[in-house]
């Protein structure tokens, strides 16, 4: 899709989505040579448990980052900042060694900043912050802060900041674990994704224009579940539509009762559990649901069960390509918002930063 085709509504968000490959290259190059990356690496200790903390999109980013770290054999989990603030004992236990990573695009998100302050002062834990802004409250609250200033956005919702910070955390995990091949794969990803933005956005917009849905569901397993969660949120935010997310095989256990032609079910198909997920896809199609599929490789069964399909064809390993799946949920949300006459740059009821009064005690 060319810039000339972009309407006034949503132009910032669309430009930011389409700029992602270039943004990834810039951010990773700067991160790789930064003192902050070296400082974050020095905080890593044998047997430490990584705790990824965020709110909203940043929490879904935390889920995806934790999955990658676990694949590096670095114990990790994701926790919403509000849960850590209000129920710290459910996450932090005596005698355990933790390394929290606090995520906030603006560096001003109240729960994120308060969580970092609590962890540093009350629990005497050194923390790593990651943000797309400089000189904001998160930075002095953390021991080390990774700053991806090129990934910041004008629009309200997070798009390139989500994927760029995810790639940065994956790069950190690969560095800590000594996985040079994975770092190389991340560096190669932008050039592989760039050509996909020449044709797929136009085809996707035509699909959006041709169909109207009352509900949306996103399904994924394993490393793609955090990405599916973020795609769900982007459709909710950018188009004021009702969307849900489930693990693919869990959708059979009750939620499939809502499958219908008026619902678009989007499958983010993995390689590891591809066959099992395609069975769910075929089952939902047989129940009458409308379906969209995003996969790295599509064979005939998945294509036949799809109303719209995106084949990525990337050469990078499965875990290293998860950020590329987010683009299409981001675009769908913007296009559907424009179809409804909305402005995805400034969605209803949302602000760019959630800053709260000092009502949550740490």
Q: Are 137 and 108 in contact (CB under 8 A)?
A: yes
Of all residues in the chain, the percent with pLDDT exceeding 90 is 90
Least confident of 100-109, 274-283, 340-349: 340-349
Confirm whether 3-188 and 199-339 share one CATH topology.
Answer: yes
Phi, psi angles (nearest 5°) of residue 155: -75, 165
* CATH class (in words) of the domain with range 199-339: alpha beta
DSSP-H helix ranges across the chain: 11-18, 20-32, 35-43, 57-71, 81-86, 110-121, 138-141, 160-176, 180-193, 200-210, 225-239, 274-286, 300-304, 322-339
pLDDT recorded at residue 10: 83
CA distance 304 to 231: 23
293: β partners: 267, 309
pLDDT of 147 higher than 50: yes
pLDDT recorded at residue 32: 97
Q: Are 20 and 193 in contact (CB under 8 A)?
A: yes
Q: Are 326 and 158 in contact (CB under 8 A)?
A: no
Q: What distance lies between CA 1 and its chain's CA centroid? A: 22
Q: Which residue has the tokens 């968000």?
A: 13
- Span 188-247, pLDDT tens digits: 999 999 999 999 999 999 999 999 999 999 999 999 999 999 999 999 999 999 999 999
Q: What distance lies between CA 23 and its chain's CA centroid? A: 15
Q: How confident is the model at residue 353 (pLDDT cuts 50, 70, 90)?
A: low
* Tally of CA atoms within 13 A in the half-sphere of 34 that contains its CB: 22
Phi, psi angles (nearest 5°) of residue 52: -95, 130
Of 294, 227, 251, nearest to 63 (Cα)? 227
For the chain, the C-alpha Rg in angstroms (whole number) is 20
pLDDT of 362 higher than 60: no
Of 235, 234, 195, 197, nearest to 215 (Cα)? 235
Q: How confident is the model at residue 352 (pLDDT cuts 50, 70, 90)?
A: low
Q: How confident is the model at residue 357 (pLDDT cuts 50, 70, 90)?
A: confident
Cβ count within 10 A of residue 38: 11
Q: What distance lies between CA 89 and its chain's CA centroid? A: 27
pLDDT recorded at residue 6: 44
Mean pLDDT, residues 271-279: 96
pLDDT of 121 higher than 90: yes
CA distance 310 to 300: 13
Its pTM stands at 0.94
Provide the mean pLDDT of the chain: 94
pLDDT recorded at residue 203: 97
What is the CATH T-level fold of the domain 3-188, as seen in this structure? Rossmann fold (3.40.50)
Boundaries of every domain in the chain = 3-188, 199-339
| DSSP 8-state class, residue 316 | S
Of 247, 256, 248, 232, nearest to 336 (Cα)? 232
């Amino acid at each position: 899709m060319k810039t000339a085709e972009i309407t006034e509504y949503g132009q910032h968000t669309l430009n930011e989505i389409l700029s992602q490959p270039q943004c990834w290259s810039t951010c990773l190059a700067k991160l790789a040579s930064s003192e902050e990356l070296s400082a974050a690496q020095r905080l890593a200790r044998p047997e430490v448990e990584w705790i990824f903390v965020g709110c909203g999109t940043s929490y879904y980013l935390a889920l995806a980052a934790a999955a990658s770290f676990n694949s590096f054999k670095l114990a990790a989990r994701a926790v919403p900042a509000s849960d850590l603030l209000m129920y710290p004992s459910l996450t932090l236990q005596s005698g355990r060694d933790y390394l929290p990573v606090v995520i906030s695009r603006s560096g001003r998100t109240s729960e994120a900043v308060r969580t970092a302050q609590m962890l540093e002062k009350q629990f005497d834990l050194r923390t790593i912050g990651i943000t797309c802004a400089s000189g904001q409250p998160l930075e002095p609250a953390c021991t080390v802060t990774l700053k991806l200033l090129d990934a910041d956005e004008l629009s309200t919702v997070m798009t390139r900041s989500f994927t760029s910070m995810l790639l940065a955390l994956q790069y950190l995990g690969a560095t800590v674990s000594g996985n040079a091949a994975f770092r190389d794969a991340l560096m190669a990803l932008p050039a592989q994704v760039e050509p996909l933005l020449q044709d797929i956005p136009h085809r996707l917009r035509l699909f959006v224009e041709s169909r109207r849905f009352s509900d949306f569901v996103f399904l994924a397993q394993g490393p793609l579940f955090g990405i599916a969660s973020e795609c769900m949120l982007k459709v909710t935010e950018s188009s004021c539509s009702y969307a849900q997310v489930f693990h693919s095989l869990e959708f059979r256990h009750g939620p499939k009762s809502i499958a219908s032609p008026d619902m678009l079910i989007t499958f983010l198909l993995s390689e590891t559990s591809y066959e099992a997920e395609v069975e769910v896809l075929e089952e939902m199609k047989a129940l009458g649901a409308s379906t969209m599929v995003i996969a790295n490789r599509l064979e005939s069964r998945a294509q036949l069960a799809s109303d719209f399909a995106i084949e990525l064809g990337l050469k990078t390993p499965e875990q290293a390509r998860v950020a590329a799946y987010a683009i299409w949920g981001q675009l769908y949300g913007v296009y559907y918002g424009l179809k409804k006459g909305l402005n995805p740059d400034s969605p209803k009821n949302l602000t760019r930063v959630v800053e709260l009064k000092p009502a949550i005690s740490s």
